[in-house]
Structure 1
Amino acid sequence: MAIELRYRDGTIHLADGEDDRSSDLESLPGVEPDPRSGGYRAPAYRYADLRDAIEKGGLPYEERVFDARGGDSLDLATDYRLREYQTDALDAWEDAGRRGVIELPTGSGKTVIAIAAIAAVGRPTLVVVPTIDLLNQWERELEREFSVPIGRFGGGEQRREPITVSTYDSAYLRADDVGDAFEFVVFDEVHHLGGEGYRDIARLLPAPYRLGLTATFERPDGAHEVIADLVGDRVYRLDIDDLAGDHLAAYDIKRIEVELTPEERQEYETAQETFVDYLKSTNLQLRSGSDYQKLVLRSGNDPRAREALLAKQRARNVMMNADAKVDALERVLDRHRGDRIIVFTAHTELVYRLSRRFLLPAITSETGATERRQILERFRDGDYSRVVTANVLDEGVDVPDANVAVVLSGSGSEREFTQRLGRILRPKDDGGRALLYEVVSDETAEERVASRRR
């Protein structure tokens, strides 16, 4: 009798009537006995390895994993003409067995590569994205390119089609229900998959073909290693400098250092001293994010730890929102009157302060989807030439072309910096260079933050 493979509740179930094959089955990748059914089970994401091992071992089997809802092959074609590096990326993914992560800068056309991959595989596909904005963008792009219905999980809709786009949140809730419907899964902004909950999306899907897309694969917490196990290794990578001047705009980065006012300096030094004194008295050294989390946990029952954290936050607010930064921005806006400018900050309060001061359209996490779409459309049409935002345009939003970015404040994250730089790097019709300004408070911890994100 042949081994029968079926998908059940986020696992692969193996049924076999041959008692003398138990040792063969238990040696397969991820397979364990299942006392409830009398058969065997393996994690769904191990399906491809499991099938390959069965074939290599010469064991007879019947594949029923996608029979119920997977459907027939899809007749797909794309009119996209891939650039040379996009073709190289797609070829590298094909050579890796149609599994793996492609890392390319923002604006380099990762979506184009994914659509070419979907057409090449020609099987039911689930595209997973982090935001509603990206959900809408992908849905429009797939409808424009393919003549098959496009499904949607998210934004109030739960509609499954042979090609379906889902948010990470919806995919997390539905993965074990629809795992037998999709043989190919594309994870856009795949670094999100490293989050504890989101990992289950990839674990519960048996899809043998997997593609991850990102501008910044490696995560500070090391979770990219988990992603490599669930999606595949990084198979192709180019950074901004590899494409700048040819496929992306050439660019310059200029740092503007500003001084704190005497009042700001006093407040900053006092708060910073409180924080540093606590670290010294407890022999704590903050070398990583996990060290900082330990301090946060301490603050729950240690009043001095809580005081230190609050002091650290006060110091950060002073250096990130210094008055001189507003003056520096005024000079930049005046210097670039004819340019299209995006201003990035770390704090919503500063966004609204700048919006009032310079009459800039503002986009924050508090901005409704309709208002945000209208602002970006007017920016795209040229009605607005400047926009100020706090973090929400870093990724997951189709931002219109701009050629100047101003980072008034931000984290030490390389990912955040790369995303912000990528917002101004789309090729310019006139061959002009993009320009990013970093505005940094002198003689503060922000100097270290700026250096770290580079």
Structure 2
Amino acid sequence: MTDEYEISDFYDAIEDVGRPVLTADEVARALDCSHEDANRVLERLAEERDVARLDVENDPVVWFPTEWERLADRERIVVFPKRREIVADQPAQFTRAQLSQFAHLNDTTRAGSYSYRVREEDIWSAPYDSLETLMRTVRQVLPEPSPDLEGFIEAQWKRARQFRLYTHEDGYVVLEAASDDLMGNVARQKLSEDHLRAPIADDESWVAEDKVAEVKRILYEAGYPVQDERDLETGDDLDITCALDLRDYQREWVEEFVDLKSGVLVGPPGSGKTVAAMGVLEAVSGESLILVPGRELAGQWRDELLASTSLTPEQVGEYHGGEKNVRPVTIATYQTAGMDRHRQLFDQRRWGLIVYDECQHIPSRVFRRSADLQSKHRLGLSATPVREDDKEKDIFTLIGPPIGTDWDALFEAGFVAEPEVEIRYVGWDEETYHGEYANADGRGKRRIAATNPAKLDEIRFLLAEHPTSKALVFVEYLEQGDRIAEALDVPFLSGQMRHAERERHLQAFRDGREDTLVISRVGDEGIDLPDAEIAIVASGLGGSRRQGAQRAGRTMRPAGRARMYVLATRGTREEEFARQQLRHLASKGIRIQETVLDEREEDD
């Protein structure tokens, strides 16, 4: 019975299911046979080398045509328009960079396959001035026209332009819909009287000024991004001159921001987003509020402003738990700015610009309230506007559209070094340790795999391979950091180390007196880590894409070779976490290499 099925039937099943890889259950349903018969068919086709199997951790075995493996050295793009999925096998960097402009990277495999999904929010925030330029990019990537997918993209582009906010000539805020039906059946159904004061016309409503950010968020969640065209306060004038020479692309970022009046700079680490932000301060020349995650970043911002602009110490203030001075340019923490007892001070000031540094924090409950502060100009800064709760769309809703997303162009021009990223799968140091892992619970398994002592030997090996390179070794667990630092006889920088001592080691690393530092999660954000040639991630925060990109960013600078090694214990969920952690980098066109260390290599 099973002999009558051939590879052509498997291709028919792929087309029927609409996925590039299939489980035996899906094959059985597509071929209308039993699960047992489907398995026999797949095993026979595998023996004949027509299909290949892939064991996926925590999931059933999946099967795919071996022809795709034979084409592994060639780029192959497969589109599944009904599912809005694009699978790219061995894509060129240009292809990956183009896909990142309008699609979300779902997954990658060791074999070099990238799976993308085109979501509504990807089209809403696509960095294009017109539908025509967006479609030009889409058609450059797709191997042939896809009317269904292109129709979806066009529909979402138009959907994102159905509502706009503008300022009435009498000074109040108006929400305008593209039609009476949208106003009546969407806006007035989703929004309450607290949001909409009164109707002005069938397609217009008066908006409560203190509810504008909430109105934008609610309509976005309903599937309708709002175009914000309000004439907001320009703020009190403040003459600022930036003493830095901006690169051409940084000047383009500033010009695009001035034109849009709101947006998020999402260039790669090392591309100079802070420098561009100071160029924006000069262009706006108004009193400015800069929001940061922590007080250490506040101090760094103050030092940068005083060193690189015409601002005087009397014009720059800090407002947080350690210092409370509101000045023409004020640097405050998100948490402080969102507190009721401090909000009045910030609301009273006529800010011409609000800068949201590390703005990926904005969607979180603690920081979200600070986003209700509105000004004519809103600038977000983030190399990694991604969140594991998938709320990154809120970032662009509350602040503005992405600016400067073309990482590939900066790599090609040599402004930022594209990092060489490699996941190295490390075995256990001894069988008894593997037994300890097998007997642990879920959280215990993760900790044991993350702190696998065999990683220390691999760290020593990598440092010996690059004896003249400055290296940062990242860890998630303090005891692991202490153990590695002691074994290497180097400092371990963590939140438990006094600020002054931590800064002393960082300065020694900058000027070359120290060439290796072990760093805990405190180095992910909030302190100004110096550049390094090598970043070694011994353990990480699960599959956090933001953490992976931030740590890679410590090696991304204009000159030299940037290398990042992520160590994962073989045969554990760390393998999955490592691939997931680097997904944001892969979505930006950076190729991720994977190496499985055999027993011989580990013993050498």
TM-score of the superposition, structure 1-length normalised? Answer: 0.76
The answer to whether structure 1 residue 175 and structure 2 residue 343 are counterparts is yes
Mark the CA change 1:42 to 1:159 in structure 2 (over 3 Å): closer, same or farther.
Answer: closer
Q: Which has the larger radius of gyration?
A: 2
Shift of 1:146: 2.2
Q: How has the CA–CA distance of structure 1 residues 127 and 244 changed in structure 2, closer, same or farther, with 3 Å as cutoff? A: farther
Q: Is the partner of 1:210 in helix, strand or coil?
A: strand
After TM superposition, give the deviation of residue 242 of structure 1 in Å. 4.0
For each residue in 1:54-89, what CA deviation from the matched residue of structure 2 results, as whole angstroms up to 9, or x when unmatched? Answer: x8xxxxxxx9x79xxx5x311112122221221222
Moved more, 393-402 or 316-325: 393-402
Query: How far does the alpha carbon of each residue in 1:308-359 deviate from its partner, in whole angstroms, 9 at most, with x for none?
Result: xxx1111011111111111111222233332111001111110011111111
Q: Would you say how many aligned residue pairs link Structure 1 and Structure 2? A: 373
Corresponding residue of 1:151: 317
Pick 1 or 2: higher relative contact order, CA cutoff 8 A, min separation 6.
1
Q: Any conservation in 1 of the 2:471–2:534 contact (CA below 8 Å)?
A: yes
- Give the match for residue 413 of structure 1: 544
Counterparts of residues 273-422 of structure 1 (less than 5 Å): 311-410=441-540, 411-422=542-553
Q: Choose the corresponding residue for 1:95, options 259, 270, 273.
A: 259
Change (3 A) 1:338 1:267: same
Aligned to 1:436: 564
| Partner SS state of residue 405, structure 1 | strand
Identity of aligned residues (%): 29
Does the 8 A contact of 1:29 with 1:50 survive in 2?
no
Q: Distance in 2 between matches of 1:132 and 1:73?
A: 27
Quick check: 1:268 aligned with 2:437?
A: yes
Q: Give the aligned partner of residue 580 of structure 2.
A: 452
Unaligned runs of 5+ in 2: 1-168, 174-196, 217-225, 583-604
Shift of residue 154 of structure 1? Answer: 2.0
Q: 1:263 to 1:176 in 2, by over 3 A?
A: farther
Provide the C-alpha distance between the structure 1 equivalents of 2:211 and 2:539, rounded to a whole number of angstroms.
43
Query: How far apart are the structure 2 equivalents of 1:361 and 1:82?
Result: 35
For residue 176 of structure 1, report the CA deviation from its aligned partner: 3.7
Q: Is the 8 A contact 1:342 1:389 kept in 2?
A: yes
1:184 pairs with 2:361: no
Q: d(CA) in 2 for partners of 1:427 and 1:52?
A: 37
Whole-Å separation in 1 of the counterparts to 2:228 and 2:451: 56
| Residues 165/244 of structure 1: CA separation in 2 closer, same or farther (3 Å cut) | farther
SS of the equivalent of 1:219 reads coil
1:228-278: per-residue Cα shift (whole Å, max 9, x none)?
A: 22211223313378426701224322333221121121122233xxxxxxx
Whole-Å Cα distance in 2 between the matches of residues 208 and 29 of structure 1? 19
Write the distance in 1 (CA, Å) between the matches of 2:412 and 2:336: 36
User: What is the aligned partner in structure 2 of residue 426 from structure 1?
Assistant: 557
Q: For each residue in 1:396-440, what CA deviation from the matched residue of structure 2 results, as whole angstroms up to 9, or x when unmatched?
A: 321112101111111312211111111011223xxx312212222
Q: Which amino acid aligns with 2:277?
A: A
Contact preservation (8 Å) 2:335, 2:366: no
Match for residue 138 of structure 1? 301
Alignment of 1:2-41 (within 5 A): 23-24=199-200, 27-28=204-205, 30-31=207-208
Q: Is the 8 A contact 2:265 2:402 kept in 1?
A: yes
Give the Cα separation in 2 of the matches to 1:73 and 1:47: 29
**What residue identity is the alignment partner of 2:292?**
V
Q: In structure 2, what is the Cα distance between the partners aligned to 1:335 and 1:161?
A: 51
* 244 and 338 in structure 1: CA distance in 2 versus 1, 3 angstrom threshold: farther
Match of 1:256 among 424, 432, 436: 424
- Give the drift of 1:206: 3.0
- In 2, Cα distance between the equivalents of 1:446 and 1:86? 38
Q: Deviations over 1:371-390 (max 9, x none)?
A: 21111111112121110011
- 1:228 has 2:396 as partner: yes
Alpha-carbon shift at residue 50 of structure 1 (Å)? 12
Q: Distance in 2 between matches of 1:448 and 1:117?
A: 40
TM-aligned CA distance change 1:151 to 1:45, over 3 Å: farther
Distance (Å, rounded) in 1 between the aligned partners of 2:229 and 2:383: 31
Partner of 2:284: 121
Query: Following the alignment from structure 2 to structure 1, what is the Cα–Cα distance between the partners of residues 251 and 384?
Result: 20
1:74 maps to what in 2? 238
Equivalent of residue 111 in structure 1, options 260, 274, 279: 274
State whether residues 130 and 396 of structure 1, in contact with CA within 8 Å, keep that contact through their aligned partners in structure 2.
yes
How far did 1:23 drift? 4.7
Residues 1:22 and 1:351: Cα distance change in structure 2 (over 3 Å): closer
Distance in 1, matches of 2:242 and 2:538, equals 41
Aligned: 1:195 with 2:364: yes
In 2, Cα distance between the equivalents of 1:47 and 1:422? 35
Give structure 1 stretches of 5+ with no counterpart: 7-20, 32-40, 56-62, 272-310
Paired position in structure 2 for 1:298: none
- Partner Cα distance (2:270, 2:359) in 1: 16
Does the C-alpha gap of structure 1 residues 134 and 312 become closer, same or farther in structure 2, counting only changes over 3 Å?
Answer: same
Q: Which amino acid aligns with 2:237?
A: S
In the alignment, the residues of structure 1 paired with residue 511 and residue 519 of structure 2 have an alpha-carbon distance, to the nearest angstrom, of: 18
Amino acid across the alignment from 2:422: K
Cα distance between partner residues in 2 of 1:240 and 1:378: 33
Cα deviation, 1:167-192, whole Å, max 9, x if unaligned, reads: 22222222343123123100011001
User: Is the partner of 1:158 in helix, strand or coil?
Assistant: coil
> Contact 2:386–2:545 (CA<8 Å) still a contact in 1?
no
Q: Which region of structure 1 is more displaced relative to structure 2, 148-157 or 402-411?
A: 148-157
AA in 2 matched with 1:391: R
Which residue number corresponds to residue 206 of structure 1? 374
Alignment check: 8 A CA contact 1:131 1:396 kept: yes
Distance 1:95 1:47 in 2: 24
Q: CA deviation digits over 1:268-299, x for unaligned, max 9?
A: 2233xxxxxxxxxxxxxxxxxxxxxxxxxxxx
Shift, 1:124, TM fit: 0.8
**Cα gap change, 1:22 to 1:401, in 2 (>3 Å):** closer
Is 1:85 equivalent to 2:216 in the alignment? no
Q: Give the Cα–Cα distance (whole angstroms) in 2 for the partners of residues 408 and 115 of structure 1.
A: 35
Change (3 A) 1:25 1:74: farther
Three-state SS of the structure 1 residue aligned to 2:580 is helix
Letter in 2 for 1:359: D
CA change 1:29–1:84 in 2 (3 A) is: farther
1:154 maps to amino acid? H
Distance 1:25 1:378 in 2: 66
